[in-house]
Amino acid sequence: MSQDPLKAIRGSFLDFVDDPFYIPETDSVRYLSDGLLVLENGKIKAFGPYAELQAEYDHLPTTVYSEQLIVPGFIDTHVHYPQTEMIAAYGEQLLAWLNRYTFPTESKFADKSYARTIANFFLEQLLHHGTTTALVFAAVFPQSVDAFFEAAEQLNLCMIAGKVMMDRNAPEAVCDTAESSYQETRALIQKWHKKGRLRYAVTPRFAITSTEAQLRYAGQLLQEFPDVYLHTHLSENVDEVAAVKQLYPDCAGYLDVYDQAGLVTDRSIFAHGVQLSDAEFRRLSAAQSAIAFCPTSNLFLGSGLFKIEQAKSPDYPVKVGLGTDVGAGTSFSLLQTANEAYKVAQLRRQQLSPFKALFLATLGGARALNLETLLGSFDLGKEADFIVLNPRATPLLALRSGEATPTSLDELADQLFALMMLGDDRAVHATYIMGELVFQP
């Protein structure tokens, strides 16, 4: 990919310099109504008000986006690429949904060329929806991981993924063994982890489909490769939690199953956490683990209402990102995911402000994935993955948003809220990866 050494983007920029769940929005939100972003070899070289940077950088080739809103690329902290084609599968809750739809669909990913086709389609969807980084479940087959990483590498994307480990309570066609999952994961880590912008996540599906032996192998891999991730599901559904109790009678609870295998670390991301106990929230806080909040999925499968205010409590803070969880989730759009997160909070008599929701989709997600030194904001030196949102992308959005560019945080919050409630991929006007335009409708 060709890269100009130096170039600039001018427009309205919004990002975060701190966490608005803990720091007032007046101090954590950064808004430049007329800003300049200077890029050098895909990284951010300068960022500030146009009026201040104009003298130094006026000679650079500059792309101007007027009446748009430029934000860091969205980060999806939990999604399954092999489930793309089974989005919107009718009528079941988690365990029946897995058996009826998920396992048969994922069995197709033994075929590498099929996996490659879907991986390319999935990544194109992500870019169209403004998602530039994701933490991704592949399928149980190592070739499904190869297909995914090969596609992501071609697009120069920062992606984290892993082979699903599952050795029981599922059809034989999608099961490995404790030993084979260890060997195959090990080989995939050596092949892909930190190759360019790619990262590996050790990915046991969940406690129900892994034996204790397999979970211990996963823990052993984290010991052998201390900077890989751990990615799994946790406490999503009431029947699931009951089944885990039966399968692991000696554990204190669901999280303890993972803890006893050495899987609860500061590089662990647990999807859902809808049914967590107070003690489990405290344990996740102490371990500096992260939760992927997946509201469209939790509503679609009838799993329940995630307690965002408990996860983000100042006393026991847990890192949180947003996850689409496609195919249980119903949209690739982090805007639509924020929409549903807002409604989940409403049902619990809580408020999720548009800035807090955008934080979860950007810098919060980067922190959940320990990527905040590289991604998630316009800080100098970070990798220039960003998107251009159109606040007037549809006739209804245009009517709702009006014509003025926001000049205050209140006006900006209102515009952003409308984008989240009414926007989706139609609101994504451009997607940039490492400073290069990769998608424009």
Site membership for Zn ion, residue 325 (CB under 5 A): yes
CB 376 to ligand GUN: min, Å: 25
Contacts of 354 (CB under 8 A, 6+ apart): 338, 413, 416, 417, 420
Binding partner of residue 428 among ligand GUN, Zn ion, none, CB cut-off 5 to 8 Å per kind: none
**Residue 154 CB, nearest distance to ligand GUN (Å)?**
26
Give the three-class secondary structure for 232: strand
Residue 32, sorted as left (phi over 0), alpha (psi -120 to 50) or beta, turns out to be beta
Residue 10: CA atoms inside 13 Å, Cβ hemisphere, count?
A: 16
Q: Specify whether the CB–CB gap between 251 and 280 falls below 8 A.
A: no
69 counts as binding ligand GUN under rule CB under 6 A: no
Backbone phi, then psi, for 353, in 5-degree steps?
-70, 155
Nearest residue to 377 (alpha-carbon basis) of 41, 385, 324, 369: 385
Q: Which does 163 bind (CB under 5 to 8 A by kind): ligand GUN, Zn ion, none?
A: none
By beta-carbon proximity to Zn ion, the closer residue of 211 and 297 is 297
Pick between residue 60 and residue 326 the one whose CB is nearest to ligand GUN.
326
Measured from the CB atom, the residue of 45 and 80 that comes closer to Zn ion is 80
User: Nearest 5°: phi and psi at 320?
Assistant: -135, 135
**Residue 328 found at the interface with ligand GUN (CB under 6 A):** yes
What does the alpha-carbon distance between residue 434 and residue 413 come to, in Å, rounded to a whole number? 27
| Binding status of residue 236 toward ligand GUN by CB under 6 A | yes
Closest distance to Zn ion from the beta carbon of 313 (Å): 24
Token pair of 13 as six digits: 């920029």
Phi, psi of 212 (to 5 degrees): -60, -40
Q: Are 314 and 293 in contact (CB under 8 A)?
A: no
Is 270 a binding residue for ligand GUN by CB under 6 A? The answer is no
The verdict on 116 binding ligand GUN (CB under 6 A) reads no
CB of 85 to Zn ion, least distance (A): 15
Q: Rule CB under 6 A: is residue 102 a binding residue for ligand GUN?
A: yes
Candidates 34-42, 94-102, 114-122, 260-268: pick the segment binding ligand GUN (CB under 6 A).
Answer: 94-102
Q: Which is nearer to ligand GUN, 237 or 431 (CB)?
A: 237
**Closest separation in Å from C-beta 341 to ligand GUN:** 16
> Could you list the residues that contact Zn ion (CB under 5 A)?
271, 325
